[in-house]
Amino acid sequence: MINTDKNHKHTYDAQGKMTCCTQEEKIYTRAGAKELVNEKHQHDHSDDDGHDHSHSDSSPIQLFLPSIISLILLLVAIAFDNWLPQQWFTGWVRIIWYIVAYAPVGFPVLTDAVKSIRKGEIFSEFFLMGIATIGAFTIGEYPEGVAVMLFYAVGEVFQTMAISRAKANIKSLLDQRPDEVTVLRNNQPETVKAETVDIGEIIQLKPGEKLGLDGELLSETASFNTAALTGESKPDTKAKGETVLAGMINLNTVAQVQVTTAYTDSKLSKILELVQNATSQKAPTELFIRKFAKIYTPIVVFLAIAICLVPYFFVADYEFKDWLYRALVFLVISCPCALVISIPLGYFGGIGAASRNGILFKGSNFLDALSNMQNVVMDKTGTMTEGVFKVQEVVFDKAFNQDEILQLVNVLESHSTHPVATAIHEYVGKPDNTIRLENTEEIAGHGLKSTVNGKDLLVGNFKLMNKFGIQYDLDPNSIVYTTIAVAYDNRFVGYITIADSIKEDAQKTITLLHKLNVKATMLSGDKSTVVKYVAEQLGIDNAFGDLLPEDKVNRVKEIKAKGESVAFVGDGVNDAPVVALSDVGIAMGGLGSDATIETADVVIQDDKPSKIPVAINIGKQTKKIVWQNITLAFVVKGIVLVLGAGGLATMWEAVFADVGVALLAILNAVRIQRMKF
């Protein structure tokens, strides 16, 4: 299973199933923990605080219906009280009317308050809202009691809608699996639910169909559209025995795939679960606010009691009803809704925005860490370069026919499986089968030797040239790229350079990092001249080649010794020691390896390095919005609390200080989901 944090521990039941932080994505809101239930467990309608979130996928009309009913009844009652007096609208009839108006929005909150108390959480927001509104009823302030709870309910709906939107962003990006698949049983195709398919069964995939589970290709070849998983638009052709992943779309012929992984354990499922559980890893700001709310809430309750009772001993014309009203106003104002809603919602929105951009965060703590990042240390191959070798240049003596020699080299290299051979085949084309080679041999550490038309053909490094006494007039060390030397008929023909091409957006990546005041360093085990050349091309600040894994660790330690934060970008497997040492580990191509998903803190889904500065920017914007909300809540509440204690603020100002500020904070938090990065 996925470890969502380097130091995070999971617990397992007797069957080995994870019992913590995997079945539900948690977002702490208001004064208690509210959990958004994973779609796989929709039947469990209530969460730990007793609050019902089964309606999160309901339509806006359904969500707002209780509030609409309450609002209509409240407006009619206010009209009867002030503008259209009715003789019958007095006494118990009037009280019952306001109680009926209160019930649709108040009853769920009172129920949650009782459940919280049973669990030992007495000073929850539900308790605060309950005693404040019931208190308003006891002193005859019925309209205000209903209005406070009504605005509170509206805030709840906006919160639910905002979270649902963030969930939808994540789900639409990641959950690319079809619900049903065609399985061959007794040699007959049968359509079944994807989650019921066992490991070892064979899926028949028609052109245009999407694969539902991870498996191994049984057909000789098949081409797949992997855009939904990697962002790569060109088809990916797989050969028999190769791994194919859930979410890939078959393009041309009917293909057969043997299932190797259960539906819930596919890489796509794991990443979907990873992001949904990301909010269990709290940012320091969130942790502080949660601790703050636990201390703050009981204090304001006792202060409210003091405001109500203490003046009896000091005020000559003490009126219990007046001071109770002040206490209730104080209680409503003090509810920490805006803080404990908007902060986790802001981080959850940041995770959703990142997912929409193909960046998977394992926790909001990593959003915070990236927002203050000073150094990005990156691997070269597969991170800033494509990881696929290509011919860069062919430098042959003009005395030789370049095309002829290339064909000879191409045929000879067909005897090798080295990546260099693949690069030459791609450059020259299909080998000419009419060319006959004799006495072909591979000389370990040097290259290939063969005879063509009675003449020796040598293809390899310059050590091979030296071995056979071939004279050449150049310094091999002056050539930046990997070099293939060619000799024919005992004469030096020239050389071919092979290099891993730089990714299209690599230059843009470094430019954006510098704009964010982030330094870039490249660490690689590749040839130093190659590493420095790539670094110069891209404008990378520092570059070091010929490094072993332990050398990379030492380089990162040197940066951290300066007191600077470090994010390491690599494949998350070979560079595991550096990933563990860095403040944030970022993996490229998360779908390619389970180990990558396990090790890294952030996974860039489509292998584009330009997503690194995007991730940092999302972290910065998320933190900015969170602190805007904190400032707004403290300033407004502080002002109105003082006014309320002095009797200068009514219940309506209290409603604004509580629910109004909470709504503003929610709307501000939602902004990050609409931002373009």
- Residues taking part in catalysis: 379
Write the secondary structure of 21-53 as one string of H (helix), E (strand) and C (coil). Answer: CCCEEEEEECCEEEEEECHHHCCCCECCCCCEC
Phi, psi of 131 (to 5 degrees): -70, -30
8 Å CB contact between 462 and 482: no
CA distances in angstroms from 438 to 69, 413, 441, listed in the order given = 91, 14, 9
> Among candidates 547, 539, 537, which has minimal Cα distance to 570?
547
Q: At what angle do helices 419-428 and 402-413 cross, to 10 degrees?
A: 140
275 Cβ neighbours under 8 A, 6+ residues apart: 170, 174, 351, 355, 360, 361
> Among candidates 210, 206, 194, which has minimal Cα distance to 261?
194
How many Å is the maximal CA-CA distance in the chain?
A: 122
Distance CA 100, CA 70 (A): 8
8 Å CB contact between 458 and 489: no
| Amino acid letter, residue 231 | G
| 398, burial (CB in 10 Å: exposed 0-12, middle 13-18, buried 19+) | exposed
Count of residues for the chain?
A: 677
- The residue written with tokens 């969500």 in the block is 63
- The residue written with tokens 């509810």 in the block is 335
| Amino acid letter, residue 278 | A
Helix (H, G, I), strand (E, B) or coil at 288: helix
Torsion of CA 58, 61, 64, 68, to 10 degrees: -150
8 Å CB contact between 441 and 460: no
